[in-house]
């Protein structure tokens, strides 16, 4: 018997003011260019990797760009601090960095390419208390900054303070200050907008709107920071990378395990390499899960239902059409006044 797939607005009232998790499908819906598989795979296809850079990925048995960049950057900084002549390590760092910058520049949309979709994304996300984005692109960040100009009493908060540092007392941000309602935003796998310096301090790169992507790439070129995001790898490799970051480990240890009654999954394939996220939310009080379905795939419904039962326990699952009105980038139909 096929699983029923309903319009989002039919079940939305049961899921608003709780948690939503955004997977890569949500980003692809906004910009098809983000359907690149993996940054390393893209770099290989585009011929961006030199032999020595490829050798680094093979030696460390990883496909995580951020990890390789950080390792070579740290080695280069150690050599420089001890005045050890080693131009080859520094050149390897430069090549890894430029390869990553070029890959990001190739696949990431510019602000003006997605700006017309931000109003719908804003209206959709503001209905939730917590947004967990597994995507390291800038779409959610841009949605947040778009909302700064909307005078509707709502505020998105990512728990980074004015000094750009993460406030680990993140739960305090739930209390309204000047706003009537708010949404807390977290990046369990990091973001292009997050970085760390040579002494492992982690902070957010600030820049509103269209200048953000270029500001991030310029920060990377400064040789003062490396990006903070988990781009690839197995579940075990991703968890290991998470545990090496204060921000990511705090989100993993505290935010994912906080209490919630419902969970909405949008554009998430529930791949084996990401199931640590779902497993972490087991026992948090989830009584119902809503799962987006693209183009009515019953194969995906069957898979998603089984994964949820395995990882969260016996909870009811509602499937909804990811392209239905009011869902993500899809506007609500205009209300036609009665004559």
Most confident region among 46-55, 89-98, 252-261 by mean pLDDT:
252-261
Instruction: Report the pLDDT value the prediction gives residue 181, as an integer from 0 to 100.
Output: 98
The answer, yes or no, to whether residue 48 has pLDDT greater than 70, is yes
The answer, yes or no, to whether residue 334 has pLDDT greater than 90, is no
The answer, yes or no, to whether residue 83 has pLDDT greater than 80, is yes
The answer, yes or no, to whether residue 338 has pLDDT greater than 70, is no
pLDDT tens readout for residues 158-176? 999 988 999 999 999 999 9
Instruction: Report the pLDDT value the prediction gives residue 337, as an integer from 0 to 100.
Output: 67
Residues 6+ apart with CB under 8 A from 24: 34, 35, 134, 135, 267, 268, 269
Three-state SS annotation for the chain: CCCCEECHHHHHHHCCCCEEEECHHHHHHHCHHHCCCCHHHHHHHCCCCCHHHHHHHHHCCCCCHHHHHHHHHHHHHHHHHCCCCCHHHHHHHHHHHHHHHHHHHHHCCCHHHHHHHHHHHHHHHCCCCEEEECCCCCHHHHHHHHHCCCCCCEEEECCECCCCEECCCHHHHHCCCCCCEEEEEECCCEEEEEEEECCCCEEECCCCHHHHHHHHHHHHHCCCEEEEECCCCCHHHHHHHHHCCHHHHHHHHHHCCCCCCEEEEECCCCCHHHHHHHHHCCCCCCCEEEEEECCCCHHHHHHHHHHHHHHHCCCCEEEEECCCCCCCCCCCCCCCCCC
Instruction: Report the pLDDT value the prediction gives residue 207, as an integer from 0 to 100.
Output: 81
Mean pLDDT of 309-336: 94
Instruction: Report the pLDDT value the prediction gives residue 66, as an integer from 0 to 100.
Output: 82
Instruction: Report the pLDDT value the prediction gives residue 4, as an integer from 0 to 100.
Output: 98
The region of weakest confidence among 24-28, 72-76, 309-313 is 72-76
Instruction: Report the pLDDT value the prediction gives residue 288, as an integer from 0 to 100.
Output: 98
Share of the chain above pLDDT 90, in %: 79
Instruction: Report the pLDDT value the prediction gives residue 339, as an integer from 0 to 100.
Output: 61
pLDDT tens readout for residues 88-137? 899 999 999 999 999 999 999 999 999 999 999 999 999 999 999 999 99
Mean pLDDT of 32-57: 89
pLDDT band, very low/low/confident/very high, at 201 (cuts 50, 70, 90): very high
Share of the chain above pLDDT 70, in %: 98
The answer, yes or no, to whether residue 152 has pLDDT greater than 80, is yes
φ, ψ dihedrals at 302, nearest 5°: -65, -45
């Amino acid at each position: 018997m096929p699983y029923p797939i309903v319009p989002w607005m039919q079940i939305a009232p049961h899921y608003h003011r709780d948690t939503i998790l955004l997977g890569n499908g949500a980003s692809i819906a906004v910009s098809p260019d983000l359907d690149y598989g993996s940054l390393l795979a893209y770099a290989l296809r585009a011929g961006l990797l030199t032999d020595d850079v490829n050798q680094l990925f093979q030696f460390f048995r990883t496909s995580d760009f951020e990890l390789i960049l950080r390792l070579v950057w740290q080695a280069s900084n150690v050599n420089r601090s001890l005045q050890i002549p080693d131009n080859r390590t520094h050149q390897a760092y430069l090549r890894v960095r430029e390869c990553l910058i070029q890959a990001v520049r190739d696949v990431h949309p510019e602000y003006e390419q997605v700006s017309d979709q931000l109003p719908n994304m804003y209206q959709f996300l503001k209905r939730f208390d917590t947004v967990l984005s597994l995507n390291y692109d800038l779409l959610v960040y841009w949605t947040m900054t778009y909302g700064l100009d909307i005078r509707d009493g709502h505020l998105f908060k990512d728990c980074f303070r004015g000094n750009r540092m993460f406030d680990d007392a993140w739960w305090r941000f739930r209390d309204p200050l000047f706003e009537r309602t708010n949404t807390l935003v977290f990046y369990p796998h990091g973001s292009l907008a997050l970085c760390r310096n040579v002494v492992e301090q982690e902070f957010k790169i600030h820049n509103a709107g269209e200048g953000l992507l270029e500001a991030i790439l310029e920060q990377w070129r400064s040789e003062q920071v490396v990006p903070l995001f988990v781009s690839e790898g197995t579940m075990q490799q991703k968890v290991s990378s998470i545990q090496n970051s204060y921000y990511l480990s705090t989100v993993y240890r505290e935010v994912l395990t906080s209490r919630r009654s419902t969970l909405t999954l949008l554009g998430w394939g529930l791949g084996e390499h990401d199931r640590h996220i779902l497993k972490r939310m087991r026992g948090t009080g989830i009584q119902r899960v809503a799962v987006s379905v693209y183009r009515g795939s019953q194969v995906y419904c069957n898979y998603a239902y089984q994964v949820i039962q395995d990882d969260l326990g016996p909870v009811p699952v509602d499937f909804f059409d990811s392209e239905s009105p009011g869902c993500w980038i899809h506007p609500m139909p205009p209300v036609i006044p009665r004559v």
